Amino acid sequence: MCLALNISYGQQIENSIFWEVSGNGLSTPSYLYGTVKFISSKDYFLSKNVKSKLKESKIFATETLLDHHSLHELNKAAHLPHHQSVKDILPEDQFVTLKKIFSDRLGVSNLKFDMVYSQFKPVVLSTTMTRLSLGKSVRYYELELTKFANKNGLLTLGLETASREISAIEAYDQESQIEALTHTIANFDKQIADYNALIDAYKLGDLHKTLEYALHPSEGNEEFRAIFFDKRNAEWIPHMEKIMKQAGAFFAIGAAHLADENGIVNLLRKKGYTVKPYALK
């Protein structure tokens, strides 16, 4: 999911979305690549040196392994329980405005909205609105990198199970999700402008500006940030260490998980690894 939050940095990490991890007994360097979940095809990029280091690696790991089981479970978790509709939980005037945005701005028929999108959880719906605003030509970094890794014969792994990711998402209570969706409905143009600014920053490799969007629908919800980011980051480190000790690895992880004192970069450094920015070309 692509979510966003204004993050207060206890510790600044250098700006980069591409990192080399070495030292601390590793015989071969591994690499860490920060991603965004989706991007328009015209903005999509994957530099030659990223592809080169991915091809040199033996293992490719994402947050959750994108197999059929995981995708099925994540899709189920994206929907409201008991065949509910967002109409059941939003005030009528806001639901009418939401449906009008889907129809007039996103080109979604009323039938498709009622049968498909209205059944999404509010936080998923908010993110989906941004994705749909990009039109039909959208690319997904995890899928693109996974296809590239499979084509080059890498072992593909996940740092956590789908059920673990789902439990983190469900920590975002429905009241907070409704508040976030209400904000999106009232400020849809600004949300799109913010996302465009995010992509501009991401294309420049500016990790910190990219992070400013990473939890936008949950803005101000520190408990969710701690559960969805900080706790999961800490859980991933032992898995990453085990993988890197076996062979050179390439980790594709959401950019929001990299920076700040509880981010992956700093946590690996605390473990004694040398983590340095690797230039994009």
User: Which residue's entry shows tokens 């293992």?
Assistant: 59
So where are the chain's domains? 18-75+137-277
Within 8 A by CB and 6+ apart from 271, the residues are 24, 237, 241
User: Which residue's entry shows tokens 């189920």?
Assistant: 76
237 exposed, middle or buried (CB, 10 Å; 0-12, 13-18, 19+)? middle
Spatial distance between the Cα atoms of 249 and 236, rounded to a whole number of angstroms: 14
User: Which residue's entry shows tokens 């089981």?
Assistant: 69
Spatial distance between the Cα atoms of 271 and 94, rounded to a whole number of angstroms: 48
86 C-beta neighbours (distance < 10 Å), count: 22
3-class DSSP assignment, residue 151: helix
User: By C-alpha distance, which of 33, 15, 46, 63 is closest to 255?
Assistant: 33
Instruction: Identify the DSSP state of 28.
Output: S
Listed in order, strand segments (DSSP E) in the chain are: 18-22, 30-35, 39-40, 59-64, 138-139, 155-160, 249-254, 274-277
3-class DSSP assignment, residue 110: helix
pLDDT in tens, the chain (281 residues): 334 333 333 345 677 899 999 999 999 999 999 999 999 999 999 999 999 999 999 999 999 987 888 888 888 889 999 889 999 999 999 999 999 999 999 999 999 999 999 999 998 999 899 999 999 899 999 999 999 999 999 999 999 988 888 887 777 788 888 988 999 999 999 889 889 988 888 888 777 777 666 666 555 667 777 888 899 999 999 999 999 999 999 999 998 898 788 899 999 999 999 999 987 76
Spatial distance between the Cα atoms of 88 and 111, rounded to a whole number of angstroms: 17
pLDDT digits (tens, 9 = 90+) for 104-124: 999 999 999 999 999 999 989
- In this structure, are residues 77 and 170 in contact, taking their beta carbons and an 8 Å threshold? yes
Spatial distance between the Cα atoms of 126 and 186, rounded to a whole number of angstroms: 11
33 exposed, middle or buried (CB, 10 Å; 0-12, 13-18, 19+)? buried
**Encoding tokens for residue 124?**
């998923």
pLDDT for the residue numbered 212? 67
Alpha-carbon dihedral angle through residues 270, 271, 272, 278, given to the nearest 10 degrees: -80
